[in-house]
Amino acid sequence: MPDPVSLEKLPLRQHATVAAIDWARLAIPESRRLRELGFDEGVHVEVLHRARLGGGPIACRVGRMTVALRRGVAGAILVAPLAG
Amino acid sequence: MNAAPMVALVGNPNAGKSALFNALTGARQKVGNYPGVTVERHSGRLALPDGRPVELVDLPGAYSLDPGSPDERVTRNVLMGTQIGERRPDALIVVVDASNLDNHLRFTLQLIALGLPVVVALNMVDLAERDGLVLDPAILSEALGVPVVSTVAVRRRGIEALKEHVGAMISGGARAKVPEESAAVEDIVAVQRRARSIAIATTVSETPTRRWTHALDSIALHPLWGMILLATILFLMFQAVFSWATIPADAIDAGFGALGAAITAQLGDGFIQSLLVDGVIAGVGAVLVFLPQILILFLFILLLEASGYMVRAAFLMDQVMASVGLSGRAFIPLLSSFACAVPGIMATRTIEDEKDRLTTILIAPLMTCSARLPVYTLIISALIPNTPVLPFIGLQGVVMFALYVFGVVGAFAAAFFLRKTVTQGASSGFMMEMPKYQLPRLRDVAQGLRSRAEIFLRRAGTIILYSTVALWLLLSFPKPPVGSPVSPVNYSIAGRIANGLAVVLKPIGFDRDIALALIPAMAAREVAVAALGTVYAIDNPDGGVGQKALAANLQKRWSLPTALAFLMWFVFAPQCISTIAVTRRETNSWRWPAFMVGYLFALAYIAAGATYWAAIALGL
């Protein structure tokens, strides 16, 4: 299995599962909302769109939902890319 | 109505709750407010198959019982029975999006744990099927221990079955248990895992299909094409507001003119005639003319929201908003504020971060709302020459556009400074579910437009009616003695107040007449137009009334620097009682509305003064 990367760095359309979430890097309301939107270890994720090359948000699929996140938050989510 | 059992419709945002609510209640709906907060309370009458009435309440969408926003707090409080002025529901209809089961089931599990009778509406099963997802409601029902009905709210599928379950729930006499504390604070991760395992068990088969939402998003969220699309939509929106509204607006204007003439013909000149024609009809008519513009603007906003595009716009704008310390979410309320700051400020309820929300509320009045249009249109058409600047583009259009730009630039600058000072805090986040694209339902959009129109008409019928009548009274009394050299306006109460105010406003180029128009315009900006008309009409009764006479008066009495200063004043001045009142309600204090009024008046004074003196220096 490839090494874990942050969700921020995951290539577009590359399927992955969440390996770990660095909750300590996130504000309390942020981590609550992240959990409510379904982020959890073992969940299937995929980056669908990036706003632009700078610091804009990313849109990613988590479970069956599409969620917009800022890069800072995505950087706290460590994912393991799936082969294929 | 009060004796009827109450059933609440509850679920995640984007579960199709409102469409289900419309399908269950039809047109029998009421939109009110929960006391103390501006969260709208949507209720309606649901007739059971056996004819018994039930009061159905559509609670704001929430992700959990742990409230993040004021909206979610209302949902939680109603469910707990602690919302002031609201009964605890007798039963719940929990709405879940069939294609989003694993996420929506977590909230469902929390809701079932409350101990109220529950029926689950497995909604939008058609969209789930289109996505290649086959679900078994029987397995879901068994796992949850409550009845499950498959529904497609927009096609009325499953509605009758749902009503039968509601009937059974409220006849069952199942008493609502007071929720145990543990139910609300249960470990969210554990609930989430249980929800996911139920979702997996319920899913019979899943064929991955390339969803068309993704294809549309490839354009809508594209760094370049997405921006071009957004700019095009906004351009069309403002184009529509200015061009489509002309015909109905002219018709309304002509209607009020005819009404005034008819009353004058019936009653002849006199006290009652003057009160009705110069006060009521001139004032309320001047405002109702803007109903078409406001409705067109709201039509666009409702369509953008119902289609799912609004969240994409927020996504695109997030980086720009972040540069002044706001989140992409603020884009939605700010865009609504171009129609009217009141619904715009109410739309900030979905912003979770308190400082972020407060900043958005404080700058919302800087967006050029439709109430400024009558003021801008009158002054520009009367005093700005329409010399061509570029082919097809005249100076009048450029000035109008510049006023919009000043508002937006002012708002961003204000947000930047507010975030560094009074609303200082950690940079806000942006985390949003992006719903699937949907064709907006005509009926749901019409329902939304109807309630907006009602709110506007109620405003025109109360605040604006009272303030124009009050101004008419203050301007008409006391009357100067016959043969007095003092003009009627100077002799009146309003004239005396304005003479005092004019001393303060003189340095920025405003005279007594303008001061006089600004006083009642405190109620609503558009009143300034009616007020100027009334002032010049009473001051010079032989000058005629109507737009042409008013424009002639302005050309005779106003200099260009004064006109430009007046326009700049209206870019910034917080002249709107409704906005101040809604800010008071939304921030739950007088401190923030007072601050807002203070900083905006200061900006208005400085901007108008600077414009006036710059224009004089340039020899305009």
Our count of domains for chain A comes to 1
Is residue B383 within 8 A of residue B563, CB to CB? The reply is yes
pLDDT band at B184 (very low <50, low <70, confident <90, very high): very low
CA–CA gap between residue A45 and residue A82 (Å, rounded)? 10
Mean pLDDT of chain B: 83
User: What confidence score (pLDDT) does residue B543 get?
Assistant: 57
Are A65 and B433 inside 8 Å of each other by CB? yes
Structure-model confidence comparison of residues B620 and B418, the more confident one: B418
Q: How far is A1 from chain B (nearest CA, A)?
A: 23
User: What confidence score (pLDDT) does residue B546 get?
Assistant: 64
Q: Which CATH fold topology does B6-209 show?
A: Rossmann fold (3.40.50)
Distance between start and end Cα atoms, chain B: 65
B99, B188, B223 ranked by CB distance to A35: nearest: B188
- Weakest-pLDDT range from B172-176, B261-265, B442-446, B480-484: B172-176
Q: What is the mean pLDDT of residues B420-437?
A: 81
CA–CA gap between residue B45 and residue B86 (Å, rounded)? 16
Q: Is some CB atom of chain B closer than 8 A to the CB atom of A84?
A: no
User: What confidence score (pLDDT) does residue B422 get?
Assistant: 82
Q: How far is A7 from chain B (nearest CA, A)?
A: 14
Chain A CB contacts of B192 under 8 Å are 35, 38, 40
- Weakest-pLDDT range from B10-24, B200-214, B383-397: B200-214
Is residue B120 within 8 A of residue B85, CB to CB? The reply is no
DSSP string, B41-71: EEEEEEE-TTS-EEEEEEPPP-SSSS--SHH
Pick from B576, B579, B570, B580: which is nearest to B604 by CA? Answer: B570
CA–CA gap between residue B253 and residue B211 (Å, rounded)? 49
A30, A32, A66 ranked by CB distance to B434: nearest: A66
Q: What is the mean pLDDT of residues B532-561?
A: 76
The answer to whether the Cα torsion of B216, B222, B228, B230 is positive or negative is positive
- Residues in chain A, total: 84
Asked if pLDDT for residue B398 goes beyond 60, the answer is yes
Interface residue of A21, A50, A64 to substitute, partner B, most B CBs within 10 Å: A64
Tokens, residue B51: 């004819």
Is residue B56 within 8 A of residue B43, CB to CB? The reply is yes
Structure-model confidence comparison of residues B206 and B106, the more confident one: B106
Measure the CA angle with vertex B618, ends B617 and B619; round to 5°: 90
User: What confidence score (pLDDT) does residue B603 get?
Assistant: 95
User: What confidence score (pLDDT) does residue B178 get?
Assistant: 44
> Residue B421: is it exposed, middle or buried by C-beta count within 10 angstroms (0-12/13-18/19+)?
exposed
User: What confidence score (pLDDT) does residue B18 get?
Assistant: 83
CA–CA gap between residue B341 and residue B38 (Å, rounded)? 14
Q: How far is A9 from chain B (nearest CA, A)?
A: 18
Q: Give the CA count within 13 Å in the CB-facing half-sphere of B341.
A: 29
Interface residue of A49, A58, A71, A77 to substitute, partner B, most B CBs within 10 Å: A49
pLDDT digits (tens, 9 = 90+) for B34-93: 655 556 788 888 888 888 889 999 998 888 888 777 788 889 999 998 888 888 999 999
> What range does the domain containing A15 cover?
5-81
Q: What is the mean pLDDT of residues B317-329?
A: 88
**DSSP-based three-state secondary structure for A1:** coil
Are B318 and A34 inside 8 Å of each other by CB? no
pLDDT digits (tens, 9 = 90+) for A18-72: 999 988 888 877 888 888 888 888 888 999 888 766 678 999 988 778 899 988 8
Chain B CB contacts of A70 under 8 Å are 318, 322, 429-431
Q: Is some CB atom of chain A closer than 8 A to the CB atom of B159?
A: no
Measure the CA angle with vertex B40, ends B419 and B29; round to 5°: 155
Q: What is the mean pLDDT of residues B489-513?
A: 87
User: What confidence score (pLDDT) does residue A1 get?
Assistant: 55
Q: How far is B535 from chain A (nearest CA, A)?
A: 52
Q: Is some CB atom of chain A closer than 8 A to the CB atom of B21?
A: no
DSSP string, A31-62: HHHHHHTT--TT-EEEEEEES-SSS--EEEEE
CA–CA gap between residue B473 and residue B469 (Å, rounded)? 6
pLDDT band at B106 (very low <50, low <70, confident <90, very high): confident
CA–CA gap between residue B467 and residue B523 (Å, rounded)? 7
User: What confidence score (pLDDT) does residue A42 get?
Assistant: 84
Interface residue of A32, A53, A66, A69 to substitute, partner B, most B CBs within 10 Å: A66
User: What confidence score (pLDDT) does residue A79 get?
Assistant: 93
Q: Is some CB atom of chain B closer than 8 A to the CB atom of A55?
A: yes
Asked if pLDDT for residue B205 goes beyond 80, the answer is no
Q: Give strand ranges (E) for B362-516.
A: 388-390, 393-394, 431-433
Are B353 and A73 inside 8 Å of each other by CB? no
Residue of chain B with shortest Cα separation from A47: B214
A29, A51, A64 ranked by CB distance to B318: nearest: A51
Say what the pTM is.
Answer: 0.78
Q: What is the ipTM of this complex?
A: 0.92
Helix, strand, coil percentages, rounded to 5, for chain B: 65, 10, 25
User: What confidence score (pLDDT) does residue B122 get?
Assistant: 93
Q: How far is B64 from chain A (nearest CA, A)?
A: 7
- The 10 Å Cβ neighbour count of residue B238 is 16
In Å, how far from its chain's centre is CA B88?
A: 28
Q: Is some CB atom of chain A closer than 8 A to the CB atom of B189?
A: yes
CA–CA gap between residue B359 and residue B366 (Å, rounded)? 12
Q: Give the CA count within 13 Å in the CB-facing half-sphere of B234.
A: 15
Structure-model confidence comparison of residues B33 and B314, the more confident one: B314
Interface of B with A in 210-229 (CB under 8 A): 213-214, 217-218, 221-223
Residue whose structure tokens are 């996504």: B315
Pick from B549, B564, B571, B580: which is nearest to B613 by CA? Answer: B564
**DSSP-based three-state secondary structure for B113:** coil
User: What confidence score (pLDDT) does residue B181 get?
Assistant: 43
Q: How far is A5 from chain B (nearest CA, A)?
A: 21
At residue B169, what is the residue type?
M
Are A64 and B100 inside 8 Å of each other by CB? yes
User: What confidence score (pLDDT) does residue B180 get?
Assistant: 46
DSSP state of B222: -
- The 10 Å Cβ neighbour count of residue A84 is 5
- The 10 Å Cβ neighbour count of residue B272 is 10
pLDDT band at B367 (very low <50, low <70, confident <90, very high): very high
pLDDT digits (tens, 9 = 90+) for B278-302: 767 766 776 677 778 778 888 888 8
Are B430 and A69 inside 8 Å of each other by CB? yes
CA–CA gap between residue A74 and residue B304 (Å, rounded)? 27
- The 10 Å Cβ neighbour count of residue B115 is 15
Asked if pLDDT for residue B8 goes beyond 90, the answer is yes
Which conformational region is residue B67 in: left (phi greater than 0), alpha (psi within -120 to 50 degrees), or beta? beta
Asked if pLDDT for residue B266 goes beyond 50, the answer is yes
pLDDT band at B616 (very low <50, low <70, confident <90, very high): very high
B189, B316, B322 ranked by CB distance to A35: nearest: B189
Q: Is some CB atom of chain B closer than 8 A to the CB atom of A34?
A: yes
Are A37 and B223 inside 8 Å of each other by CB? no
Query: Which residues are bridge partners to A21 per DSSP?
Result: A77
Chain A CB contacts of B431 under 8 Å are 30, 33-34, 37, 67-70, 73
Structure-model confidence comparison of residues B82 and B469, the more confident one: B82
Q: How far is A2 from chain B (nearest CA, A)?
A: 24
pLDDT digits (tens, 9 = 90+) for B429-459: 788 888 888 888 888 888 888 877 887 777 6
CA–CA gap between residue A60 and residue A44 (Å, rounded)? 10
Chain B CB contacts of A59 under 8 Å are 217, 221, 315, 434
User: What confidence score (pLDDT) does residue B607 get?
Assistant: 95
Residues 6+ apart with CB under 8 A from B340: B294, B369, B370, B371, B456
CA–CA gap between residue B540 and residue B126 (Å, rounded)? 68
Residue of chain A with shortest Cα separation from B320: A56
**DSSP-based three-state secondary structure for B295:** helix
CA–CA gap between residue B122 and residue B16 (Å, rounded)? 10
Asked if pLDDT for residue B545 goes beyond 60, the answer is no
Q: What is the mean pLDDT of residues B193-207?
A: 80
Residue ranges of domains in chain B: 6-209, 450-617
Give phi and psi for B282, each to the nearest 5.
-60, -45
Pick from B50, B48, B33, B47: which is nearest to B84 by CA? Answer: B33
